[in-house]
Amino acid sequence: MPAKTSRAADRIADELAEAEARTNRLRAKAEAINTAVREERDRAELSYYRIKATKVATEYRNGHNAVASELEALITADPIDASAILAKVIEVRDSAARCGALAAHASRLDYLSPLPPNPNSGAAQARTVPVGGERYKNLTFTQVLDAAINARAERIRRQHLAELQAEAASEISAAVDAARAKAASEISDK
Protein backbone atom coordinates (compact mmCIF):
# COMPACT_ATOMS: atom_id res chain seq x y z
CA MET A 1 0.00 0.00 0.00
CA PRO A 2 2.77 2.48 0.60
CA ALA A 3 3.52 2.51 -3.15
CA LYS A 4 -0.09 3.38 -3.93
CA THR A 5 -0.11 6.11 -1.29
CA SER A 6 3.18 7.39 -2.63
CA ARG A 7 1.74 7.57 -6.18
CA ALA A 8 -1.37 9.32 -4.93
CA ALA A 9 0.71 11.74 -2.89
CA ASP A 10 2.99 12.37 -5.90
CA ARG A 11 -0.03 12.94 -8.13
CA ILE A 12 -1.54 15.36 -5.58
CA ALA A 13 1.82 17.12 -5.24
CA ASP A 14 2.07 17.38 -9.05
CA GLU A 15 -1.49 18.68 -9.33
CA LEU A 16 -0.83 21.13 -6.52
CA ALA A 17 2.38 22.31 -8.24
CA GLU A 18 0.43 22.74 -11.52
CA ALA A 19 -2.33 24.62 -9.70
CA GLU A 20 0.22 26.85 -7.97
CA ALA A 21 2.01 27.49 -11.29
CA ARG A 22 -1.30 28.30 -12.98
CA THR A 23 -2.25 30.56 -10.05
CA ASN A 24 1.10 32.33 -10.34
CA ARG A 25 0.61 32.78 -14.11
CA LEU A 26 -2.91 34.13 -13.51
CA ARG A 27 -1.62 36.44 -10.76
CA ALA A 28 1.09 37.72 -13.11
CA LYS A 29 -1.50 38.28 -15.86
CA ALA A 30 -3.83 40.01 -13.41
CA GLU A 31 -0.97 42.22 -12.18
CA ALA A 32 0.03 43.07 -15.78
CA ILE A 33 -3.60 43.94 -16.56
CA ASN A 34 -3.91 46.03 -13.39
CA THR A 35 -0.64 47.83 -14.18
CA ALA A 36 -1.76 48.57 -17.75
CA VAL A 37 -5.15 49.80 -16.52
CA ARG A 38 -3.57 51.96 -13.80
CA GLU A 39 -1.04 53.47 -16.24
CA GLU A 40 -3.73 54.17 -18.84
CA ARG A 41 -6.04 55.65 -16.21
CA ASP A 42 -3.24 57.91 -14.97
CA ARG A 43 -2.37 58.95 -18.54
CA ALA A 44 -6.02 59.57 -19.46
CA GLU A 45 -6.68 61.50 -16.24
CA LEU A 46 -3.60 63.69 -16.70
CA SER A 47 -4.49 64.34 -20.34
CA TYR A 48 -8.10 65.16 -19.45
CA TYR A 49 -7.15 67.70 -16.77
CA ARG A 50 -4.43 69.26 -18.93
CA ILE A 51 -6.97 69.85 -21.69
CA LYS A 52 -9.47 71.28 -19.18
CA ALA A 53 -6.83 73.60 -17.68
CA THR A 54 -5.67 74.91 -21.07
CA LYS A 55 -7.85 74.55 -24.17
CA VAL A 56 -11.21 74.33 -22.42
CA ALA A 57 -10.27 77.11 -19.98
CA THR A 58 -9.48 79.34 -22.97
CA GLU A 59 -12.84 78.53 -24.54
CA TYR A 60 -14.63 79.32 -21.27
CA ARG A 61 -12.68 82.58 -20.87
CA ASN A 62 -13.42 83.66 -24.45
CA GLY A 63 -17.11 82.85 -24.06
CA HIS A 64 -17.27 84.67 -20.74
CA ASN A 65 -15.46 87.70 -22.16
CA ALA A 66 -17.94 87.84 -25.05
CA VAL A 67 -20.92 87.81 -22.68
CA ALA A 68 -19.24 90.40 -20.42
CA SER A 69 -18.62 92.64 -23.46
CA GLU A 70 -22.29 92.39 -24.35
CA LEU A 71 -23.14 93.48 -20.81
CA GLU A 72 -20.71 96.41 -21.06
CA ALA A 73 -22.40 97.46 -24.32
CA LEU A 74 -25.82 97.31 -22.64
CA ILE A 75 -24.54 99.40 -19.73
CA THR A 76 -23.47 102.17 -22.11
CA ALA A 77 -26.51 101.91 -24.40
CA ASP A 78 -29.03 104.71 -24.55
CA PRO A 79 -31.80 104.36 -23.63
CA ILE A 80 -31.19 102.09 -20.66
CA ASP A 81 -32.96 98.74 -21.09
CA ALA A 82 -33.22 97.37 -17.54
CA SER A 83 -34.77 94.06 -18.62
CA ALA A 84 -31.99 93.42 -21.16
CA ILE A 85 -29.39 94.34 -18.54
CA LEU A 86 -30.98 91.97 -16.02
CA ALA A 87 -30.98 89.11 -18.53
CA LYS A 88 -27.34 89.79 -19.40
CA VAL A 89 -26.32 90.07 -15.72
CA ILE A 90 -27.83 86.64 -15.15
CA GLU A 91 -25.99 85.29 -18.19
CA VAL A 92 -22.69 86.83 -17.01
CA ARG A 93 -23.12 85.46 -13.49
CA ASP A 94 -23.96 82.00 -14.88
CA SER A 95 -20.88 82.17 -17.08
CA ALA A 96 -18.73 83.27 -14.13
CA ALA A 97 -20.07 80.36 -12.08
CA ARG A 98 -19.17 77.87 -14.83
CA CYS A 99 -15.70 79.44 -15.07
CA GLY A 100 -15.24 79.07 -11.32
CA ALA A 101 -16.35 75.46 -11.44
CA LEU A 102 -13.92 74.70 -14.26
CA ALA A 103 -11.06 76.38 -12.37
CA ALA A 104 -11.80 74.27 -9.29
CA HIS A 105 -12.17 71.12 -11.41
CA ALA A 106 -8.98 71.69 -13.41
CA SER A 107 -6.98 72.43 -10.27
CA ARG A 108 -6.69 68.64 -9.83
CA LEU A 109 -3.84 68.95 -12.30
CA ASP A 110 -1.72 70.32 -9.44
CA TYR A 111 -2.20 67.00 -7.62
CA LEU A 112 -1.60 64.84 -10.69
CA SER A 113 1.39 66.73 -12.04
CA PRO A 114 2.68 69.18 -9.44
CA LEU A 115 4.86 72.06 -10.50
CA PRO A 116 8.39 72.09 -9.09
CA PRO A 117 8.89 74.10 -5.91
CA ASN A 118 9.58 77.80 -6.27
CA PRO A 119 13.34 78.07 -6.88
CA ASN A 120 13.66 81.13 -4.64
CA SER A 121 11.58 80.11 -1.65
CA GLY A 122 11.14 76.38 -2.08
CA ALA A 123 7.38 76.82 -1.62
CA ALA A 124 4.95 74.67 -3.52
CA GLN A 125 3.57 76.28 -6.66
CA ALA A 126 0.06 75.97 -8.06
CA ARG A 127 -1.19 76.52 -11.56
CA THR A 128 -3.61 79.29 -12.32
CA VAL A 129 -6.39 78.10 -14.58
CA PRO A 130 -7.01 81.19 -16.73
CA VAL A 131 -10.79 81.09 -17.08
CA GLY A 132 -11.72 84.58 -15.92
CA GLY A 133 -15.05 85.35 -14.37
CA GLU A 134 -13.70 86.37 -10.97
CA ARG A 135 -14.60 90.00 -11.60
CA TYR A 136 -18.24 89.11 -12.03
CA LYS A 137 -18.78 86.35 -9.48
CA ASN A 138 -20.35 88.72 -6.92
CA LEU A 139 -21.88 91.16 -9.39
CA THR A 140 -25.45 92.21 -8.63
CA PHE A 141 -28.11 93.61 -10.90
CA THR A 142 -28.35 96.79 -8.85
CA GLN A 143 -24.61 97.39 -9.24
CA VAL A 144 -24.91 96.99 -12.99
CA LEU A 145 -28.01 99.14 -13.21
CA ASP A 146 -26.28 101.80 -11.10
CA ALA A 147 -23.29 101.60 -13.44
CA ALA A 148 -25.58 101.94 -16.46
CA ILE A 149 -27.32 104.96 -14.97
CA ASN A 150 -24.01 106.51 -13.97
CA ALA A 151 -22.49 105.84 -17.40
CA ARG A 152 -25.52 107.43 -19.06
CA ALA A 153 -25.33 110.47 -16.78
CA GLU A 154 -21.60 110.82 -17.46
CA ARG A 155 -22.21 110.51 -21.21
CA ILE A 156 -24.91 113.20 -21.00
CA ARG A 157 -22.62 115.43 -18.92
CA ARG A 158 -19.75 115.10 -21.44
CA GLN A 159 -22.07 115.65 -24.40
CA HIS A 160 -23.74 118.68 -22.84
CA LEU A 161 -20.38 120.12 -21.77
CA ALA A 162 -19.20 119.82 -25.39
CA GLU A 163 -22.40 121.56 -26.55
CA LEU A 164 -21.91 124.38 -24.02
CA GLN A 165 -18.26 124.76 -24.99
CA ALA A 166 -19.23 124.89 -28.68
CA GLU A 167 -21.92 127.47 -27.87
CA ALA A 168 -19.41 129.57 -25.92
CA ALA A 169 -16.88 129.37 -28.75
CA SER A 170 -19.56 130.36 -31.26
CA GLU A 171 -20.76 133.34 -29.22
CA ILE A 172 -17.23 134.49 -28.47
CA SER A 173 -16.28 134.09 -32.11
CA ALA A 174 -19.37 136.07 -33.17
CA ALA A 175 -18.53 138.83 -30.67
CA VAL A 176 -14.94 138.93 -31.90
CA ASP A 177 -16.10 139.06 -35.52
CA ALA A 178 -18.56 141.87 -34.69
CA ALA A 179 -15.85 143.82 -32.83
CA ARG A 180 -13.47 143.32 -35.73
CA ALA A 181 -16.06 144.51 -38.22
CA LYS A 182 -17.00 147.54 -36.07
CA ALA A 183 -13.34 148.45 -35.53
CA ALA A 184 -12.63 148.06 -39.22
CA SER A 185 -15.60 150.29 -40.16
CA GLU A 186 -14.57 152.99 -37.67
CA ILE A 187 -11.01 152.97 -38.94
CA SER A 188 -12.08 153.18 -42.57
CA ASP A 189 -14.45 156.13 -41.81
CA LYS A 190 -11.54 158.25 -40.65
d(CA 94, CA 82): 18
| Phi and psi, residue 80, nearest 5° | -70, 130
- Is residue 124 within 8 Å of residue 151, measured between CB atoms? no
Is the model's pTM score more than 0.75? no
Which residue ranges make up each domain of the chain?
2-138, 140-190
- pLDDT digits over 86-130, tens only? 999 999 999 999 999 999 999 998 888 888 988 999 898 888 888
Which DSSP category does 107 fall into? T
Burial 13-45 (b: 16+ CB within 10 A, else e): eeeeeeeeeeeeeeeeeeeeeeeeeeeeeeeee
